[in-house]
């Protein structure tokens, strides 16, 4: 006779219970996003960021934007983590070849658009193999421009986005203060409304970084440029000013001096800035005159440009300031002041 089996042995030999296929298949879609996301979550990501943001006093206009800050901060950390895993990230020669880019955003009462601009700009820069930083200069604003800049800078972290506050107004004053306090090899500025397409900005950086020119500027008047939504009055004013400055300063040969996107080498600014006087709209034109007066090449890149109907630029006062600046520059002399 066969020996009797113990209950434990019976349990071990019992065939496994059939698994409900419907339940197991139903759980796969719930776990799939988590499994796919695990390789991309950096171990260094700080989750204290969320508590620091939510602990601040809510703001009626901008409190609902904290999720966007967290999203950008996560994207920034994820891309940084993936770059660190790349074989190219450990290559010293590759790191040395990357441009160091500092972008200044002068802002006067731009709280309504600043956050959107910074979101777009940081997302764009994170896709580039650049060492970059952004400085928002509050140029005497009376709205919440500074608060928006502070909140965004805190959300991004790592010193990538900074801010400055100036009591006195003037775009030239804002640019001078930000450029003098930064050591990046490429010093840039953009209009805060991003009228110039970011896709064209890479061409300006490349022109200066590869040594083609110490100065690269966006141009709405060069062949190949695309201008959207600009009034006929502003178009006529811009072209008339361009014609006048090229007649007044022989051999200047720059079509568009006032488009709000320019890149300068730090070496050029170290020599040219001490020779400038303007604290307003004429500063970048003054720098261009010094460059062309010393027979330096200025790279003028045609861009896609979209008019901002809510612009803070006052056309008449800007033209008068430009004319005064040109007269002053003509009297002081603009030729060969940088040596070569």
Query: E strands within 147-282?
Result: 161-166, 186-190, 215-219, 226-228, 261-265
Confidence (pLDDT) at 74: 55
pLDDT at 274 over 90: yes
Q: Which residue has the tokens 């990046």?
A: 184
- pLDDT of 339: 72
The per-residue pLDDT of the chain, averaged, comes to 80
Q: Distance between CA 282 and CA 325 in Å, rounded?
A: 6
Phi/psi of residue 269, nearest 5 degrees: -65, -35
Q: How many residues does the chain have?
A: 340
Please give the CATH architecture assigned to the domain spanning 61-193.
Alpha-Beta Complex (3.90)
Q: How many CB atoms lie within 10 A of CB 61?
A: 13
Q: Residues 191, 103: contact at Cβ < 8 Å? A: no
Distance of CA 242 to the CA centre of its chain: 27
User: Would residue 5 be called left, alpha or beta, if left means φ above 0 and alpha means ψ between -120 and 50 degrees?
Assistant: beta
Q: What pLDDT, on the 0 to 100 scale, is given for residue 69? A: 59
Q: Give me the residues paired with residue 22 across strands.
A: none
- Would you state the pLDDT for residue 272? 96
84: left (phi over 0), alpha (psi -120 to 50) or beta: alpha
Residue 256 token pair: 């568009």
Q: Which residues pair with 188 in a beta bridge?
A: 103, 263
Residue 180: how many other CB atoms lie within 10 Å: 12
Q: Which residue has the tokens 């160091």?
A: 100
pLDDT-based confidence at 48, cuts 50/70/90? very low
pLDDT of residue 56: 38
Q: Sorting pLDDT into bands at 50, 70 and 90, what band is 43?
A: very low
Coil/strand/helix, residue 104: strand
Q: Which two tokens stand for residue 296?
A: 């330096």
Q: What is the pLDDT of residues 93-123, one digit of tens each?
A: 455 578 999 999 999 999 999 999 999 999 9
How large a percentage of the chain has pLDDT more than 70? 70
Q: What is the pLDDT of residues 159-214, one digit of tens each?
A: 899 999 999 999 999 999 999 989 999 999 999 999 999 999 999 999 999 999 99
The enclosing H or E element of 202 equals helix 198-209
Report the chain's C-alpha Rg in angstroms. Answer: 28
In the structure, what pLDDT confidence band is assigned to residue 87 with cuts at 50, 70 and 90?
Answer: very low
Give the DSSP per-residue string, 121-163: HHHHHHTSSSEEEEEEEEES-SSSHHHHHHHHHHHH-TTSEEE
Q: To the nearest 10°, the Cα dihedral for 226, 229, 232, 238?
A: -50
pLDDT in the model for residue 16: 54
Full-prediction pTM beyond 0.95? no
Domain extents for the chain? 61-193, 195-340
Question: Long-range CB contacts (< 8 A, 24+ apart) of 41-48?
Answer: 41/78, 42/77, 42/78, 42/80, 42/81, 44/77, 44/81, 45/74, 45/77, 45/81, 46/157
pLDDT (0 to 100) of residue 291: 96
Answer whether 262's CB lies under 8 Å from 217's CB.
Answer: yes
- pLDDT score of 231: 87
Residue 53, pLDDT score: 35
Q: What is the pLDDT of residue 315?
A: 77
**Which pLDDT score, from 0 to 100, does residue 61 have?**
41
Residue with tokens 């009462």: 109
CB 126 within 8 A of CB 76: yes
The pLDDT value recorded for residue 308 is: 77
Q: Tokens 């010094």 belong to which residue?
A: 290
pLDDT in tens, 65-82: 555 555 666 566 656 555
For residue range 283-330, list pLDDT tens digits in order: 999 999 999 999 999 999 999 999 876 666 677 888 899 999 999 999
Q: Given the DSSP bridges, would you call strands 215-219 and 298-302 parallel, antiparallel or unpaired? A: parallel
pLDDT at residue 55, rounded to an integer = 35
Strand, coil or helix: what is 211?
coil
DSSP 3-state of 86: coil
Q: Helix, strand, coil proportions of the chain in percent (round to 5)?
A: 50, 15, 35
Pairing relationship of beta strands 131-139 and 161-166 according to DSSP bridges:
parallel
Cα(287)–Cα(139) distance, integer angstroms: 20
């Amino acid at each position: 006779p066969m020996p009797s089996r113990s209950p434990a042995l019976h349990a071990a030999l019992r065939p496994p219970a059939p698994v409900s296929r419907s339940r197991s298949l139903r759980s796969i879609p719930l776990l799939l996003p988590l499994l796919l996301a695990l390789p991309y979550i950096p171990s260094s990501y700080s989750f204290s960021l969320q508590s620091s943001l939510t602990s601040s006093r809510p703001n009626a206009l901008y409190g609902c934007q904290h999720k966007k800050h967290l999203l950008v901060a996560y994207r920034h950390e994820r891309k940084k983590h993936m770059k660190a895993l790349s074989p190219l990230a450990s290559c010293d020669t590759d790191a040395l070849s990357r441009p160091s880019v500092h972008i200044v955003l002068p802002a006067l009462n731009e709280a309504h658009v600043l956050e959107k601009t910074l979101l777009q700009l940081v997302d764009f820069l994170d896709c580039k193999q650049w060492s970059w930083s952004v400085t928002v200069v509050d140029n005497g604003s009376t709205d919440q421009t500074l608060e928006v800049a502070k909140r965004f800078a805190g959300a991004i972290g790592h010193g990538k986005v900074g801010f400055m506050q100036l009591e006195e107004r003037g775009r030239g004053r804002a640019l001078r203060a930000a450029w003098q306090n930064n050591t990046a090899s490429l010093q840039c500025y953009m209009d805060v409304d991003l009228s110039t397409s970011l896709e064209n900005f890479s061409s300006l950086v490349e022109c200066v970084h590869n040594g083609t020119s110490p100065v690269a500027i966006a141009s709405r008047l060069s062949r190949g440029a695309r201008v959207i939504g600009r009034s006929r009055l502003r178009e006529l004013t811009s072209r008339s000013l361009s014609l006048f400055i090229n007649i007044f300063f022989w051999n200047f040969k720059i079509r568009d001096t006032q488009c709000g996107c320019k890149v300068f080498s730090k070496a050029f600014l170290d020599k040219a800035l001490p020779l400038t006087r303007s604290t307003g709209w004429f500063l970048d034109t003054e720098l261009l005159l010094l460059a062309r007066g010393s027979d330096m090449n200025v790279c003028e890149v045609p861009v896609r440009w979209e008019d901002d109907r809510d612009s803070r630029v006052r056309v008449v006062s800007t033209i008068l300031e430009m004319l005064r600046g040109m007269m002053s520059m003509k009297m002081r002399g603009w030729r060969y002041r940088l040596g070569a």
